[in-house]
């Protein structure tokens, strides 16, 4: 039986080499639960800050639902679609980009056709090559992550705390001494790193 899709609340910050060293110490005192390394293509839109990426050959979209009084962000997965991808799914995607939907000349698009024919020619869109090395911890039942990220070759460290319960996320952020760091999501950090802001 498939797991139900649940929106998760997230706090995240980014820093250049050494800037998050003090913040990492408390997290690294816990036992590391997992390590994941991945290469992904993010698609940035000048008109939207939704999270759209291709991971493991799936078009994966998360949409921002809410921002609370502590500036925590609630993100909901709204699409996981494999390639080749249909025009019907692409209409949903371009609505997320908040740009004009192109005329589709194929009944389906492979991964390469999607990028070369629909994404790269559009001046409002940019494909970003993203590499991640993620050390994952479980603290107060929250997923807590320290990761090295590369956005088109720009390397940054990031720390994340996420859970379905925003109070639990904020309590964990405070306990770990993170609350004075700016809360910055992936798309904001990426746009700044690649000069799209």
Q: How many domains does the chain have?
A: 1
Residue 89 lies in a domain: yes
Answer yes or no: pTM beyond 0.85: yes
Does residue 3 sit within a domain?
no
Q: What is the pLDDT of residue 18?
A: 87
Q: What is the 3-state secondary structure (H, E, C) of the chain?
A: CCCCCCCEEEEEEEECCCCCHHHHHHHHCCCEEEEEEEEEEEEEECCECCEEEEECCEEEEEEEEEECCCCCEEEEEEEEEECCECHHHHHHHHHHHCCCCCCCCCCCECHHHHHHHHHCCCCCEEEEEEEEEEEEEEECCEEEEEEEEEECCEEEEEEEEEECCHHHHHHHHHHCCCCCCCCCCHHHHHHHHCCCC
Cα distances (angstroms) measured from residue 14 to each of 173, 187, 190: 14, 11, 10
Burial class (CB in 10 A: 0-12, 13-18, 19+), 114: buried
> Which residues pair with residue 58 across a beta bridge?
55, 82
Mean pLDDT by groups of 10 residues along the chain of 197 residues: 80 92 94 97 97 94 97 96 96 97 96 96 97 98 98 97 98 96 96 94
Residue 1 lies in a domain: no
Q: Is residue 14, in this structure, part of any structural domain at all?
A: yes
Residue 15, pLDDT score: 95
Q: Is residue 163 part of a domain?
A: yes
pLDDT of amino acid 2:
55
CATH number at residue 70: 2.40.320
Judge whether 2 lies within some domain.
no
In a domain, residue 132? The reply is: yes
Give me the domain span that covers residue 151: 8-193
Domain-embedded: residue 91: yes
Phi, psi angles (nearest 5°) of residue 155:
-90, 130
């Amino acid at each position: 039986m498939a797991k139900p899709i649940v929106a998760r609340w997230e706090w995240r910050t980014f820093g250049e080499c050494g800037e998050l060293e003090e913040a990492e110490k408390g997290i690294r005192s816990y036992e590391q639960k997992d390590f994941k390394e991945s290469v992904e293509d993010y698609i940035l839109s000048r008109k939207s800050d939704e999270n759209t990426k291709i991971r493991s050959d799936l078009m994966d979209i998360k949409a921002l639902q809410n921002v609370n009084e502590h500036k925590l962000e609630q993100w909901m997965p709204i699409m996981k679609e494999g390639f080749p991808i249909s025009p019907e799914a692409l209409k949903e995607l371009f609505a997320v980009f908040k740009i004009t939907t192109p005329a589709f000349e194929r009944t389906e698009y492979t991964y390469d056709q999607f990028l070369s024919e629909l994404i790269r020619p559009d001046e409002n869109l940019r494909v970003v090559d993203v590499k991640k090395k993620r050390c994952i911890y479980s603290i107060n039942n929250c997923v807590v992550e320290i990761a090295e990220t590369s956005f088109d070759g720009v390397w940054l460290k990031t720390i994340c705390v996420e859970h379905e319960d925003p109070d639990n996320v904020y309590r964990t952020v405070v306990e770990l001494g993170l609350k004075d760091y700016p809360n910055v999501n992936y798309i904001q950090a990426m746009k700044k790193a690649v000069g799209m802001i």
